[in-house]
Amino acid sequence: MLLGLGVAALAGVLYIVYLDRLVTRQFEGRRWTLPAQVFAAPLELYTGLALAPAQLEQELQRLHYRRAERPERPGTYRVQGARFDIALRPALFADETRNAELLSIVAGPQSLESLRDSAGREVAVLRLEPLLIGSIFPIHGEGSSRAAARSPSSWCAATSSVRGRRCRARCVRRSWRWRWMRTSPRPIS
């Protein structure tokens, strides 16, 4: 009876070790297969915010909102004098989910004067969706940045400390120049 109990315990331990190895082998390579995305902090709009109309429009364009005659589709906006009508996109924040909605903003010369929803109710604080700064695709072993397309030299300079010599060599091949490269006498390999 004691021998049978020992054999059953040994078989149970061997089965647990087998399952552990099976699960580990199955999920080992898939740990980081989803791309990681890096976002900027979202801009919070509220009455009295020091934001000129030109700055508000620039922020909307950075978020890829398109100017339209009628802002009916999410991601569009209309400017009529000092009034901005914005069709907001749905957004998922850490603490809330926002559905697509229409927002009207009256902007003064130096600050926002009022924020109202489509029903005409005053909105205390509204967050615009955050700007995607970059993403990392671990399967391919590469990272990308939306900022890189606009200023490749600053992107390479910023990532040189992280990526090291391979990034510097790649940037040289692409003719991206940094200030320190012109003054540095050492060859880059």
Range of the domain at 72: 40-127
Give domain status of residue 26, yes or no. Answer: yes
> Quick check: 117 and 88 in contact, CB under 8 A?
no
Distances from the Cα of 86 to the Cα of 33, 78, 101, 108, 115, angstroms: 36, 7, 8, 17, 11
Averaged pLDDT for residues 72-96: 92
CA-to-CA distance for 129 and 42, rounded, in angstroms?
6
Task: Fill in the amino acid letter for 79.
Answer: V
Number of domains in the chain: 3
Residues 116 and 156 in one domain: no
Largest CA distance in the chain: 91
Q: pTM score, two decimals?
A: 0.57
- The pLDDT-based confidence of 175 (bands split at 50, 70, 90) is very low
> Quick check: 131 and 58 in contact, CB under 8 A?
no
